[in-house]
Structure 1
Amino acid sequence: MSTMDICVVGLGKLGLPLAVQFAGKGHRVTGADIAPEVVRAVNEGRPPFPREAELAERLKEVVAEGLLRATTDTAEAVDGAAAVVLVVPLVTDADGVPDFSLLDSATDAVAAGLRRGVLVSYETTLPVGTTRGRWAGRLEEGSGLVAGRDFGLVFSPERVRTGRVFADLRRYPKLVGGLDARSGRQGAEFYRSVLDFDPRPDLERGNGVWDLGSAEAAEFAKLAETTYRDVNIALVNQFARFADRCGVDLAPVIDACNSQPFSHLHRPGIAVGGHCIPVYPKLYLWNDPHATVVRAARAANETVPAYAVGLLAGALGTLAGVGVRVLGAAYRGGVKETAYSGVFPLVEALREAGARPYVSDPLYEAAELAALGLPPYDGEPVEALVIQADHPEYRELAAADFPGVRVLLDGRRVTDPARWAGVRHLVLGGGG
């Protein structure tokens, strides 16, 4: 496929690296976003968010070469494009019902600028059947065109992790599923022209673009792989509770299990956060309410922050009036993002236990934490620490850094117990 004009709708932590990747292959890319500050930053060649490997240098280069520009006018950006890729957030409410409002608006704007022959690809993770059952009709109604005949329509899920998007784009096969066979072929051809792939001799089908045959199969694949992770984590979190009761350290048990090729146990952790694992099982359950294993796993993972607070209370005798400093507001290390972060239920559980919680994070200023409803740490005396996020800075911490602290609960197993002499060092599944 020759050089083409591409529109990427949604310039967030996944959409912007995609736009930069496409432009880096020599294509002319217009990124559309509803946030003027994001558009301004992109047009100035600077990332609107930190710590995405390769992004700053690559963004600056493609903007300087005139291969990438940004706009708030989605319909204008779509008009003239040969391919449109949507990476707009989809979240669920407390009952697991998806909120399609942002994607509905983006789809309507795409439809307003849609022309014959264009490929439309949704990369936002969706419930099975959404591409065909929701987006096809909405695009047709807004454009007067027929999906599969006048324009191609595919679902192609993002399979990357923030902080390492470009590396993941190279490493993992790109899954594509079309509304029909012609759309599938069009989508596969498009992604082969805009992505690079590292060799993967471990994959029977090789690394590259995999056409799964239907949009539903591609939607299902994304939900299945992320839901598996949630169920796996729930299992090891329950193993951790049993290990604490019977006095066994779970870490060497997991290592032993995983030495056999049929076992792939994850590691227990104080919380499951981010846009993916806490959300996508709910998108799956929305269509499959009979999936009792998935529902039980999601519920089990949501109880871990309170369980961790119980371990802390047991070590101190009581948490009433005790100052506790939580290290890490982010949902995982190295990423400035608090979506579904465990810090929120953790702080709530500490308060319910009578503690005085404070939060610090190397990526957040005190005012930013306060804006999130988190009490920022400002030198108050504390007797306990809880590591909630596995920031690399925490690996070198030691007891000498925290005078007066009696107990450390390392919820991510990132600290060296030898550096914490005189402080009780607790981990999930450590055997008590």
Structure 2
Amino acid sequence: MSPLDICVVGLGKLGLPLAVQFAAKGHRVTGADVAPAVVEAVNQGRPPFPREAGLDEALKRVVAEGRLRATTDTSAAVAGAEAVVLVVPLVTAADGTPDFALLDAATDAVAAGLRRGTLVSYETTLPVGVTRGRWAPRLAAGSGLTPGRDFALVFSPERVRTGRVFADLRRYPKLVGGTDPAATRRGAEFYRAVLDFDPRPELAAQGRPNGVWELESAEAAEFAKLAETTYRDVNIALANQFARYADRIGVDFAAVADACNSQPFSHLHRPGIAVGGHCIPVYPRLYLWNDPSATVVRAARAANLEMPAYAVGVLDGALEGGIAGQGVLVLGAAYRGGVKETAYSGVFPLVEAVRAAGARPYVADPLYPAGELTALGLPAYGGEPVAAAVLQADHPEYRELAPADLPGVRVLLDGRRCTDPDRWAGVAGVRRIVLGGA
């Protein structure tokens, strides 16, 4: 296939690596974003966010070679494109209702520049039915074009994790479902031209080798993404409840989980202090929006939301005299290690739970200077003595953490089993505890 003109709408932690991937395959890519600072950084060959493996070098190369440029004019970028890929966030309100404002605006901008013969692909995770029921009529109204006749519309969910996007693009099959069979075929042809796939012998043995997988419809592709991510939330909730029971009976749940997972019919996840990020806390809500009768999904979401308060209760019980009136340090503002992102991070409910227990919370994170923490509404740590600490994000820097790094600390609750237990063993007056530990 000859090089394509592609527009990627949304240059965030997933959209920018995707644009770079397309450009690295030899295609001409324009990235569109509403943030001028992001556009400026991309045009300078500088990632606007840190720690995405391989992005720095690849971005510099494709920009220098003229294969990727960025703009704030989405409609103009779409007008020159044969394929448009949208990777714009969808968030939920407090009651779980999807907030389509950002995607509505992006869709309207795409519609204003849309021309006949273009492929439009949504990669943002959506509730079932939204591609056909919301985006198709909105694109038609804004462009005067008819889906299926004048342009092809597909849903193809991103299935990658920030920090390892390029590796995951190669590792996992690309799912594509269109609003009609011709659109599905068109979308599959596009993704075969812009992605690379590692061999997956186990998939080949099943008769479906790694690559592009065509699903029967946009709804099937939307459902697949919600199902795979909701499964993870439910599995984590089960692990968290097992961990709480293990705490009560004095058993190490990590050893139990390893024993269970030694045969292929069990895949117990690890318990954790919080479930954060744009994906796992959000997508079960999108599923529940479609299927409010899903009691298992609703109970799992509630169980995971309880974990920060439960963890602070464990910490309170482990410190002689309790944490009331004491300084408590929360280690990690990011929702997970190595990623500078606080979306739905456990740091926020942890800080509130520490305050509710009568203690003074502080927050530290190797990726966030004090001023950025303060701007997030978090009490930045300035080296004050603390009686207790709770590790919320598994940053690699914390593997070297020792009692001497935290003046006055008497108890550390490692909510991610990230720290080295040998560094905490045998230190007089100091305890290291974990969730679901003996």
Task: Bin the TM-score by the shorter chain.
Answer: over 0.9
The answer to whether the 8 A contact 2:119-2:186 is kept is yes
Secondary structure of the residue that 2:258 maps to in structure 1? helix
**What is the CA–CA distance in structure 2 between the aligned matches of 1:416 and 1:381, rounded to whole Å?**
22
Matches of 1:39 and 1:46, distance apart in 2:
10
Q: 1:296-337: per-residue Cα shift (whole Å, max 9, x none)?
A: 000000000000000011112322111111110000000000
Q: Partners of 1:234 and 1:350 in 2: how far apart?
A: 22
C-alpha deviations, 1:52-83, integer Å up to 9, x for none? 01101000000011100100000100002110
1:208 corresponds in structure 2 to: 211
| CA–CA distance in structure 1, aligned partners of residues 95 and 24 of structure 2 | 41
CA distance in 2, matches of 1:62, 1:180: 34
Is residue 2:303 matched to residue 1:267? Answer: no
Work out whether 1:367 is the aligned partner of 2:371.
yes
Report if aligned partners of 2:254, 2:436 keep a CA contact under 8 Å in 1.
yes
Aligned length in residues: 431
Moved more, 369-378 or 314-323: 314-323
- SS of the residue aligned with 1:192? helix
Q: Could you say what secondary structure the match of 1:325 adopts?
A: strand
Indicate whether 1:6 and 2:10 are aligned: no
1:333 to 316, 331, 337: 337
Matched to 1:11, the amino acid is L
Tell me the amino acid that sits aligned with residue 231 of structure 2.
Y
Q: Is the 8 A contact 2:323 2:387 kept in 1?
A: no
Deviations 1:258-291 (A, max 9, x none): 0010100000000000000000000000010000
RMSD (Å), alpha carbons: 0.7
Taking the aligned partners of 2:404 and 2:38, their CA distance within structure 1 comes to 42
Deviation at 1:396, TM superposition (A): 1.4
Aligned residue in 2 for 1:378:
382
What TM-score do the two structures reach when normalised by structure 2?
0.98
How far 1:417 moved relative to its partner? Answer: 2.0
State the match for 1:350 in structure 2. 354
Counterpart Cα distance in 2 of 1:227 and 1:4: 35
Q: Residue in 1 aligned with 2:221?
A: 218
Return the alpha-carbon distance in structure 2 between the equivalents of residues 119 and 303 of structure 1: 43
Q: 282, 286, 293: which is aligned to 1:279?
A: 282
- Provide runs of 4+ in structure 1 moved above 4 Å: none
Matched, 1:71 2:71: yes
Contact 2:233–2:281 (CA under 8 A) maintained in structure 1:
yes
Q: Where in structure 2 are the equivalents of 1:67-216 lying within 5 Å?
A: 67-203=67-203, 204=206, 205-216=208-219
2:53 matched to which residue of 1? 53
1:3, distance to aligned residue in structure 2 (A): 0.7
Residues 371-408 of structure 1: per-residue CA shift (max 9 Å, x gap): 00100000111011110000001111122322321101
What residue is the counterpart of 1:245 in the other structure? 248
Matches of 1:34 and 1:403 in 2, distance apart? 44
Amino acid at match of 1:307: Y
Alpha-carbon offset, residue 213 of structure 1: 1.4
- 2:431 corresponding residue in structure 1: 424
Partner Cα distance (2:311, 2:55) in 1:
36
Structure 2: stretches of 5+ with no match in the other structure: none
| Percentage of pairs with the same residue | 82
CA contact (8 A) 2:385 2:406 kept: no
Name the stretch that deviates more: 417-426 or 359-368.
417-426
- State how far apart, in whole Å, the 2-side matches of 1:270 and 1:4 are: 45
AA matched with 2:88: V
For 1:416 and 1:266, locate their aligned partners in 2 and report how far apart those are by CA, in whole Å: 21
Letter in 1 for 2:332: G
